[in-house]
Chains A and B, each alone.
Chain A
Amino acid sequence: AQSVAQPEDQVNVAEGNPLTVKCTYSVSGNPYLFWYVQYPNRGLQFLLKYITGDNLVKGSYGFEAEFNKSQTSFHLKKPSALVSDSALYFCAVSPPSQGNLIFGKGTKLSVKP
């Protein structure tokens, strides 16, 4: 079965420190990879995606993600966390030629001053 794993329910980071939110996937073929962020009582906002090419993808709000094909991982990173980055983060995978997204369960990021 196709699946996306976000092993951490919550990640706690001090403001100014680097952050990593982990994601691994089990999907056949070469899927497309996405990160979304959700603030309280809001919809999901697209952060970044990996389609092909450079394994390091840059996205909105200073976020980036590193694709590792051998480890089937797509970890979200930011060099210096802000309190305003506190939110729920979802990794999602889209199998080729399918319109559906397979979501991870989400990781709550908490950035403390």
Chain B
Amino acid sequence: DAMVIQNPRYQVTQFGKPVTLSCSQTLNHNVMYWYQQKSSQAPKLLFHYYDKDFNNEADTPDNFQSRRPNTSFCFLDIRSPGLGDAAMYLCATSGDVSFSNQPQHFGDGTRLSIL
């Protein structure tokens, strides 16, 4: 089945130690999104890629970066994690940003803990 896969499912890092979360998709979708979700709150969009075009949300801290080396993979880099960055990070895809009537497809997330 075509899907969105996030690795690892659980990640523990130390305060201030850089960490990278990964997402891959077999849907061949143009758009990939990264969301942060804290304790049963709504997901908060950090940024998205439309093909190779990077679109950052205005309130996303500079501490968060992303890379998309090809259509299938996208990475979330947290340069210096703080305690407030402990959360579930969700990756999602959609076919095209202009096709806003299409649902986004979510991975199962990576739960990040900060020691």
Contact = CB atoms under 8 A, between A and B. Distances in A.
Contact of B101 (A36, A46, A51, A108): A51
**B-side interface mostly:** loop
Contact of A95 (B43, B100, B106): B100
Interface stretch (B12-20, B59-67, B75-83, B107-115): B107-115
Interface residues of A, number: 26
A48 B34 CA distance: 22
Interface in B50-98: 50, 90, 92, 94, 96-98
A90 B42 contact: yes
Given A99-B31, A99-B94, A42 B108 contact: yes
A45 B43 contact: no
Contacts of B9: 41
A106 B94 contact: no
A43 B100 contact: no
A103 B100 contact: no
Given A99-B50, A99-B98, A105 B103 contact: no
Given A104-B42, A106-B40, A41 B111 contact: yes
Contacts of A98: 97, 100
B103 A97 contact: no
Interface of B: 4, 6, 9, 31, 40-43, 45, 48, 50, 90, 92, 94, 96-101, 103-109, 111
Interface of A: 32, 34, 36, 41-46, 49, 51, 88, 90, 94-101, 103-106, 108
18 contacts: A32-B100, A34-B103, A42-B108, A43-B90, A44-B90, A44-B92, A44-B104, A46-B104, A90-B43, A94-B101, A96-B100, A99-B31, A99-B97, A99-B99, A99-B100, A104-B42, A105-B41, A106-B40
